[in-house]
Chains A and B, each alone.
Chain A
Amino acid sequence: MNRKSSALAWGLLFPTLAVLALFVLYPAAQSFWLSFQDVEPFSKRSFFVGFENYQVLFNSPDYWQTVRVTLFFLLYTVIPSLVISLTVAVLLDANPFFQNMFRTLFLLPVAISSSMAAMLWIFIYNPTAGFLNYALDVLGIHGPNWLADPDWALVAVAVATVWKEIGFNIIFFLAGLTSIPLELKEAAELDGANSWQVFRYVTLPLLSPTLFFVSVVSVINSLQSFGQIHILTTGGPMGETTTLVYNLYRDAFVKFRTGLASSEAVILFGLILLATMVQFRMAKKRVHYG
């Protein structure tokens, strides 16, 4: 690239870079800096404490509990949401007739604001008047108080999260599936593959870039879930739905422990980075870019 066009490139990038710097890079750097400080509530006074915030966190069983909750939440949301949305997308792709109707149906939850969606689930999960326990009653099962039962609360929040996210994933999977030439599937069929084998040996490998992208985004979304937890359970019962993000929010904006919350943010950032790197590493061999 010559000097002139490189100047032009920087010029064109400048607005984006400026916005990113102001709203992403600067706060991130500030968080990093604050994570080594003890900040007094309601004042601007703070002093350097080194790794003390991190030490407090690592020595706190409550914090380890939020790590455990976060990992289970990850497990309960990402895998079901990938499996369900991929299955639905494959079925819709094979039956174009249903596509338009169902695409709208599945995309609807994505369009609803997350607080609206959470309110909806509060009604569904209500132990006495809720639809879910009514349905179970009809089947002769006595349902628990979903959002207040320590054994069920995390699952209940995960279900609401998956419900809201699959529409987004389905759109991506459908786009990926549509871009696979029909001829390839026909060639595989002529080569003797049954429909499972066509899926396993042709469709899935060719969908791998989409699958990779969707899983990375799903993991990040799951690790950053906040709204539905805040409305459905506020982290309870007994901290069973307090994830890293929710704990961070409480430390920062309820307890005003800015320094501690900042180190939690740094840890969360590290965790997301690690998860993404692991995914990239795993993808290296298995993702085929056409």
Chain B
Amino acid sequence: MASVEIDRVKKQFGDIEVLKEVSLSIRSGEFVVLVGPSGCGKSTLLRMVAGLELPSAGNIAIDSQDVTTMAPKLRGVAMVFQNYALYPHMTVRDNLKFGLELAKVDKKEIGRRVNEAAEVLGLSAHLDKKPGQLSGGQKQRVAMGRAMVRQPKVFLFDEPLSNLDAQLRVKMRTEISHLHRRLSATSIYVTHDQVEAMTLADRIAVMYQGKLEQVGSPLELYQNPKTKFVASFIGTPSMNFLQGELLQSLKGNVQASSAGVRPEHTFLANTGQGECVFLGKGQIVLVEPLGSLAYIHVRIHDHYLVSELKSDRFPHAGETVEFMITIL
């Protein structure tokens, strides 16, 4: 277990500045999730912590020790890659053992750790198979196991679940969560998946165009986004930004040049609870039912808006309805 200190780190590839002064302090044992749109520099930041990429400026410290230019193997970090990066010519057992053997760990100890990891991850029956004979979920587990057995100070995950189907992703997410609680190792986790970020993170760091937009607990980011980007990026479906007539209709309740409304804070007229404001009359363009709730796309005064409704009866596309929003 160790803290990670990223101090004013920059990265350039040729003339392109990919990271612009990123600073982030991660406490020992903390689970930090990096989110942001594709190409914003998440992987690059992670790879610099791993030592696979050198920062152009700034420092990185692990456990208060400056590791900015240290070789990856001396840093005590383990990484789980998006495509697993298992050694295809080695059995699962050899994949797990590889790092330990290189580190000249005692044979008995290697056996003990490999068996323990296999047990925890449900791989015991597959130890003698090659990666090519495993399912996606099993490969994912081997990749996790390979990181675990080395007992690193810091775990790095680069979109580890993005190649799995939705069901398996939920399952592995829960397992990662359990594992983290068990090992309470410092972890940095990159993902595109909102739900993964919200459920796993102690803190989420939102990145945008090479900068950290906001760092905070999942609820903090959801309830008090500091920038419009964070507001629109966190939460599915995205927050609605009111303009023109819609903004006018809020007059007296907000004084701002722009206002955001989360889809779940909109209601059909006469169904809202608490303090409500009338938003306008609009036509339903699309209904996306998800079971107990539905996403309703409406057009009000030429502005499009997404609403999340909880009901057992949803309106249909083409209907004209009146919308309200709650004011918190």
Contact = CB atoms under 8 A, between A and B. Distances in A.
Interface in B61-103: 71-73, 77-79, 81, 83, 85-89, 98-99, 102-103
Interface in A162-211: 181, 183-184, 186-194, 197, 201-202, 205-206, 208
A177 to B, nearest CB: 15
B73 A186 contact: no
B85 A191 contact: no
A188 B146 CA distance: 11
A191 B87 CA distance: 11
Nearest to A186: B52
B85 A206 contact: no
A146 B71 CA distance: 49
A290 B73 contact: no
A288 interface: yes
Contact of A290 (B78, B99, B132): B132
Contact of B99 (A183, A186, A191, A206): A191
Given A192-B73, A290-B132, A187 B88 contact: no
Contact of A191 (B51, B83, B98, B132): B98
A181 B85 contact: yes
Contacts of B86: 187
B87 A184 contact: yes
Contact of A190 (B73, B83, B88): B73
A190 B79 contact: yes
Interface residues of A, number: 20
Contacts of B81: 183, 186-187
Contacts of A184: 85, 87-88
Contacts of A290: 88-89, 132
A206 B88 contact: yes
Nearest to A197: B102
B72 A181 contact: no
Interface in A36-50: none
Interface string A74-108: 00000000000000000000000000000000000
A184 B86 CA distance: 7
Nearest to B78: A190
A288 B94 CA distance: 15
A282 B103 CA distance: 31
Interface string B36-76: 00000000000000111000000000000000000111000
B297 interface: no
A191 B88 contact: no
B54 to A, nearest CB: 14
Given A188-B98, A191-B99, A202 B87 contact: yes
Interface string B253-279: 000000000000000000000000000
A133 B243 CA distance: 86
Given A183-B83, A189-B72, A190-B50, A205 B99 contact: no
Interface in B136-178: 146, 150
Nearest to B147: A190
Most buried by A among B51, B85, B89, B98: B89
Nearest to A187: B85
Nearest to B130: A288
8 contacts: A183-B81, A184-B87, A187-B79, A187-B87, A190-B51, A191-B98, A191-B102, A290-B89
Interface of B: 50-52, 71-73, 77-79, 81, 83, 85-89, 98-99, 102-103, 132, 146, 150
Q: Closest 7 interchain pairs by CB?
A: A191-B99, A288-B89, A192-B73, A183-B85, A187-B85, A192-B102, A205-B89
